[in-house]
Amino acid sequence: MFEVEQIIADHKDVIHDVVFDYYGRRMATCSSDQTVKVWDENDQGKWSVTSSWKAHSGSIWRVSWAHPEFGQVLATCSFDRTASVWEEVLGEKVAATMTPTRRWVRRTTLVDSRTSVTDVEFAPKYLGLVLATASADGIIRIYEAPDIMNLSQWPVQHEIANKFPLSCLSWNTSTYKLSSQLLAAGSDDMATITGKVFIFAYSENARKCVKVDTINDITDPVTDLSFAPNAGRTFHILAVASKDLYIVNIKGTTDPTGNSKLDMQTIKFNDHNCPVWRVCWNMLATTLISTGDDGCVRVWRMNYNRNWKCAAVLKAESSSGLNQEPPVSSPTASAATTAKYYKKGIISNPNQVPWH
């Protein structure tokens, strides 16, 4: 059973990204109005804005939470060709009986890109405080904070150049039979008919991430992709949003000469019947969420035959009770500035939690 709750986001332009923190109790949104808003959930399940600030001088495409082990840290990227790292700090108490005020401080601005920075994402915790950015110039830049107590220093560890502009990237959280650093990146290039999803892995010989494969089955522009969290599988799952939804199963194998290679199986789903914009997983990788130009949120689950099926279709309703039309067809088009939060239910009995 799904309940749809509308949240008035109060952004002045189209919202490009909505991201929950590790525990799912905080939420960050970013918009073309150049602002970032941080939301907190109270004990009654209601969301309210606790911080809002102008973060860039251009549209903000993506926002990413660092693992809470490193504190309350956010990263943002923008059309203004920069990425920024923000940290929440406690201010002084206004009164002895009041809680300290909180505010977000810009710790650093990454200015290496000469074009729009289209995506930013923190690496898995076991790699340390590492950050990757993708740019329209086709370059992936990987930064690392050598001292987590001093977030003003983020030297570039290495750059990965590509022939195509990049629109999105995703870290793999699992290392089963694969490199300790595995990245996927997608391109929204429309000029060529070739593979638009690229897989990168860390090479001990080159001492940096190098491209190891291209998913040639996906030739349409890619708007989003996401590796599924590891849940004890012996293979890896990558969801890709493009003209249709794709789920790619990736296995690490060894050829007769002893070299590692990737065996990939691509499955296409055209239930949206329109371009797909975003994909995301739940923590156990048992549920996939996709959104598209049809104005619907589709919930996908794997059945007993290990096939992915659309389990539910959610479409938000306007205040008049009519279904809303799909709001945007491009990242810079005008749209309704309303975020949606979907409550999937309440677990009253611990035995209801699926274990794998």
Summarize pLDDT for 34-88 with one digit per residue, the tens. Answer: 999 999 999 888 899 999 999 999 999 999 999 999 999 999 999 999 999 999 9
- What's the whole-number average pLDDT of the chain? 85
Q: Which residues contact 177 (CB under 8 A, 6 or more apart)?
A: 234, 251, 252, 253, 260
Question: For residue range 233-262, what is the model confidence (pLDDT) as tens digits?
Answer: 888 999 999 999 999 999 877 777 767 778
CB atoms within 10 A of CB 144: 16
CA distances from 221 to 81, 187, 224, 239 (A): 21, 6, 10, 14
> Which of 259, 233, 263, 260 has the alpha carbon at shortest distance from 248?
263
**Type of residue at 307:** N
Res 355 pLDDT > 60: no
Q: Which residues contact 297 (CB under 8 A, 6 or more apart)?
A: 289, 290, 291, 313, 314, 315, 340, 342
pLDDT at 173: 86
> Which of 262, 263, 295 has the alpha carbon at shortest distance from 277?
295
In whole angstroms, give the CA distance from residue 195 to residue 41. 41
Tokens coding 8:
């008035």
Tokens coding 221:
């522009």
In whole angstroms, give the CA distance from residue 157 to residue 46. 41
pLDDT at 102: 84
**Whole-prediction pTM value?**
0.83
First to last CA, the chain: 22
For residues 42 and 356, which has the higher predicted lDDT (pLDDT)?
A: 42
Domain boundaries, the chain: 205-314
pLDDT at 8: 87
Q: Quick one: pLDDT band at residue 168, thresholds 50, 70, 90?
A: very high
pLDDT at 251: 87
Question: For residue range 172-218, what is the model confidence (pLDDT) as tens digits?
Answer: 987 766 666 789 999 999 989 999 999 998 887 777 888 989 999 99
- Look at residue 68 and give its three-state secondary structure: helix
pLDDT at 133: 97
Q: Quick one: pLDDT band at residue 277, thresholds 50, 70, 90?
A: very high
> Which of 171, 299, 293, 287 has the alpha carbon at shortest distance from 225?
171
Tokens coding 279:
């994909």
Lowest-confidence range among 73-87, 157-171, 318-332? 318-332
pLDDT at 83: 97
